[in-house]
Chain A
Amino acid sequence: MVSTTSNLKSDISLLAHLMRRAGFGASRKDLEEILPLGYEKNVEILLTPQNNEPVDKFKFLRYYPMWWKPGTMGGAGQATWVWTMVNSNSPLQEKLCVFYHNIFATGVAKVDHYDEIEDMIEMFREKGLGNYKDILMSVAKSPAMIYWLDQNENHATAVNENWGRELLELFTMGVGNYTETDVREASRAFTGWTLEHKLPRFHMGRWDWEFKFVPEDHDYSEKEFLGHKGNFDGEEIVDIILSKRSTAEFIARHLYSFFVADEPQVPAWSVTPPKDPKAIKFLADSLLESDYHMETVLRKLFNSDFFKSQLFERVKNPTEVVVGTLRLVGNPELPTPEIMEQASQIAYMGQDLLNPPSVEGWHNGIEWINSGTLMKRTNFVSELISDTSRPGVVDLLERLKKVDANAASLVDESLNLLGPLEVSEITRTELINHVESLGSFDWSNNSGLQRTIELFQLIVATKEYQFC
């Protein structure tokens, strides 16, 4: 393959963009390894996690056996997942878990049972690239969701609308596409869908839950839902919902705002048009044509021009900040106690995984940033990028030793190796000024190393570094 230097760079930039969005970013070393395969082949690798070696759960559990079933133990549930995200060979599979977790936001604040929410994440891991209907039906039967939205309190004689409403408002159609009657009728169709304990709840502790359908608690009478009449049950309601274009458009906006570019928050979608209506139409068409097959739709998304043109148009969410940084600097081969603290950092930055603030999930984009979280993001990355015992940091330093020791080259090459990142001319000038003010970079007496690290710390503190 013949390629000019500038073409090679832009290939690397685009591949880095793909890996940031479809995963948690990649180090320069990793990018160089996969670059020869080409962009499209790398998309295919991301879309076929079954071909990759899965994370060895037992490697982790040998160190933390009590985290197998964390129950109500705060922190352990997140740490297991974060460990998996950091070490996965199938980053899109894990990224999709975050995507679905943000839509089907279910939290331990109410469920009070990490195992159940972890089971839901495992379901996303297995089915995330499959059919949206499959995922939706699994969510409807997930004990965590049933408990979270009081579906176990939805009875033939006393309808509880919590699940029925959120199914329409947040999981499929969005406000404005259904009436209060539809909420009621959908809720009736799900009566009798409840949970039970696999073993008696008391007095031996907290046992796993499982889905249970109680026919005598199901309302079998006629329902009228979105213009259809019949003795619908939950699955038929889901079929009707998925037949509506508004559902495809709503899911398209979820995909766009998570993978392509920041959009206003979900509650604004009923009153704010999409940033790129053509992209939404394309994704909605793809969803309907493929019968909501997520692998098919994501293949089209990642290969689309609108995706390839939106570099650095999303503010990193806290999971991307923490997992991305850990993958960049290189993680220890075996789990260490620090994984617990690193997982907590995601929560400190405003994204308490497995414990979203509400069923709406987290507000994304610029709303991740406030003076408190910006401080935490900057401090976390700065601490790791200055840790010279990390293999990823060592690799970056070795590469920089070979660069001309003038300020502009050092800054440009550091930005290139850390991304490639795009920064404003003003930021670049300030970085160069800083490097110049430090004096010479002499690698023989440690000043080169110290000053390069200082430059890294300043780069990760820039505004531009908050985007991905």
Chain B
Amino acid sequence: MTTISKPTTKDPVIVVLQLSGGNDYLNTVVPYTKSEYRDYRPTVNVGEEDIITISDDVGLHPAMAPLADIYKNGNMAIIHGVGYENSVRSHFRSMDIWHTCEPDKLGTEGWLGRAIQNIDPKKENVVTGVSIGPSLYRALVAPGVPIATVENLDSYGLLTDISPEDKRDRVLDRYKKMYSTSLGSGPVMDFLSQTGLDALKGADILNVAPEKYSSSVEYAENSISKKLKSIAKIHLADLGTKVFYCDHGSFDTHANQLASHRYLWDNASVAIRDFFDDLKEHDADENVIMFIFSEFGRRVRDNGAGTDHGSGGVCMVIGNSVVGGEYGQYPSMKESDLDQGDLVPDMDFRSVYTTLIEDWMKLDPVPIVGGTFEKPSFIAK
């Protein structure tokens, strides 16, 4: 068993950035030296002269220049060929598999939900996990685990229309009684009870974050920048949040890929750079890593305007404690090595999770990812 972490800034914090829709691996980390790349991608390719080379074999998409700087400073790990056996080409099913670590059956619990259960088994802090955006990702779901889902940090609270304050307090008191006394009347009602109580408590805690925040970093006005800025505000308020989650997309580039893929990475790269700059300015970056993944990569051969669903993708991990560099092997693009026209992933995604859980979050990974997996060592010891 692991020890319960105390909410101090020095405990490990993970920020997950989900690239929804299936990010095209080949045009993100480009295998520019391989002749197959140009053969399979006559239209949907990154121009040789635009690629930001990071090694003799691969280069980054030009929109990722801010990330290339981070990479060159040794603070970014690129993990090649990540996926799972018998890759599913359905967005929803594949995302479910990444979220639940259950490739063979329908899972309901998420890997990060289980991690939060371990970090805070007595639920001492209802904002141990915070999701930015309207929906609760399955990765964060586990029985009894509260997750604050925050769309707008500045107006987060329950029954804020009731005034004066003493009247609102009186109503919220009764609300609390109604929600705490009927536990045990079925899973749906239990879930509602718990959610109501968590909402009440979480709002009280999170309300302080925007008030305490000030920074010289000016984030862009797009959605991913806004999300990472909210995460920075909560992290800097020192509320004990250990797991942050947000998404960016849609990377489902069946058509018009060149323009949209560039736009998505341009926004994401700048936002990530600003986020870490912000943390650094407040001397709060050393205990934070960001993990970036997508539910699958895209088909090796382009379809003339975009790419269809594929298998095998790339993960990235960014932070001061990350041992920068490339991990794993870029899957072979030889025709005979492809599976139905797709890359064959060589690294199980649960291997990557294992490193994150064991080496970074200091938890036992086996029950969380559902087995023992070899782990790439991208976290500094």
Contacts and interface: CB of A to CB of B under 8 A. Distances in A.
Interface of A: 109-110, 149-150, 152-153, 155, 158, 160-162, 165, 169, 175, 267-268, 271-272, 315, 347-350, 352, 357-360, 363, 366-367, 369-375, 378-379, 382-383, 386, 424, 426-427, 430-431, 433-434, 437, 454, 457-458, 461-463, 466
Given A375-B199, A383-B161, A454 B306 contact: no
Contact of B304 (A158, A175, A427): A158
Contacts of B255: 150, 152-153
A165 B309 CA distance: 11
B91 A358 contact: yes
A153 B303 contact: yes
**Interface range on chain B: under 10, 10 to 19, 20 to 34, or 35 or more?**
35 or more
B295 to A, nearest CB: 11
B277 interface: no
B134 A161 contact: no
A370 B147 contact: yes
B24 interface: no
A150 B96 CA distance: 24
Contacts of A175: 90, 93
In the A-B complex, list the 5 residue pairs whose CB atoms are closest, starting with the nearest.
A372-B149, A371-B199, A150-B254, A370-B136, A463-B192
A150 B303 CA distance: 11
A369 B159 contact: no
B195 A426 contact: no
A457 B159 contact: yes
A169 B90 contact: yes
A375 B156 contact: yes
Given A347-B134, A466-B192, A426 B178 contact: yes
Nearest to B146: A371
Nearest to A349: B134
Interface in B112-137: 131, 134-136
Interface in B174-201: 174-175, 177-179, 181-182, 185, 188-189, 191-193, 195-196, 198-199
B189 A379 contact: no
Interface in B195-219: 195-196, 198-199, 202-203
A165 B182 CA distance: 45
B151 A372 contact: yes
Nearest to A424: B182
Given A358-B91, A382-B161, A461-B159, A371 B106 contact: no
Contact of B149 (A160, A358, A373): A373
B96 A267 contact: yes
A348 B146 CA distance: 20
Contacts of B174: 430, 433-434, 458
A461 B172 CA distance: 10
B134 A378 contact: no
B306 A153 contact: yes
A95 to B, nearest CB: 22
A348 B96 contact: no
